[in-house]
Amino acid sequence: MTEGAPPERVRVTGPPRRRPPAGRTSDIDAGTRLGGVYMRSLLREQLRLALGVLTVLMLTIGLLPLAFYLAPGLSDVRLLGMPLGWLLLGVVVYPVLVVLGWVYVRRAERNERDFAEILSENER
């Protein structure tokens, strides 16, 4: 390394959370027809999950501005000394986002476990 050059970048990662799925990964790696079916199935489930979480997000937090627009009296409501809009958008939103994120991650991991289980069943 020369005197004025920046230090070399190093990627630091943690240990894997779970062991990689054992099974017929060669079907997926080789791009076989069966591997394509497996991957499309997993991707379809993950997309369905993501769209479901996004729908819940839009129907709860996403509609708050519309509710305040359609019912202007809500802006005058105060809870705990704060305007309702501030309380909802500044405080309540964050626990809702954490719960939605937690649910998404848990179900996505379950989809992947089910996928790995299907691969290992087909290996036998």
pLDDT digits (tens, 9 = 90+) for 43-102: 999 999 999 999 999 999 889 889 888 988 888 889 888 888 888 888 889 999 999 999
C-alpha neighbours within 13 Å on the C-beta side of residue 17: 4
| pTM value surpassing 0.95 | no
pLDDT tens digits, 14-39: 776 665 555 455 556 556 777 778 88
pLDDT grade for 5, boundaries at 50, 70 and 90: confident
Number of H helices, E strands in the chain: 5, 2
Q: Domain residues of the chain, as ranges?
A: 25-123
Kindly state the percentage of the chain with pLDDT values over 70: 83
